[in-house]
Amino acid sequence: MAKKAKPRKPKSRALEEVSATLFKLELNASLRKPRNAETIAKKYRSIGRNDLAKIILQTSKKKNLDRTEINALTKKAKLK
């Protein structure tokens, strides 16, 4: 018996909306300084990315992060 192919998942609008929201958050974050890890984590939690929020909080040792550190943390979190 032949193996049945898995149905392809359609690109959901929800995924596009989340990525648009993430872009807006990054834009807002770049305009407003200083930022601390708690507020960044809160932003990610608000769009349902608890995994990113947890990783950002765990890896940030000091409270105030500059823009490059925030970007590094989010990239590291997205890779995991």
pLDDT digits (tens, 9 = 90+) for 10-29: 556 666 666 667 766 766 66
The Cα angle at residue 47 between residues 41 and 49, in degrees rounded to 5: 60
pTM of the predicted structure, to 2 decimals: 0.36
> Per DSSP, which regions of the chain are E strands?
35-36, 64-65
Distance CA 33, CA 31 (A): 7
Contact (Cβ atoms closer than 8 angstroms) between residue 53 and residue 41: yes
| Six token digits for residue 49 | 């990315």
The shares of helix, strand and coil residues in the chain, as percent rounded to the nearest 5, are 65, 5, 30
Q: What is the pLDDT of residues 52-68, one digit of tens each?
A: 777 777 766 555 666 67
The residue ranges of every structural domain in the chain are 35-80
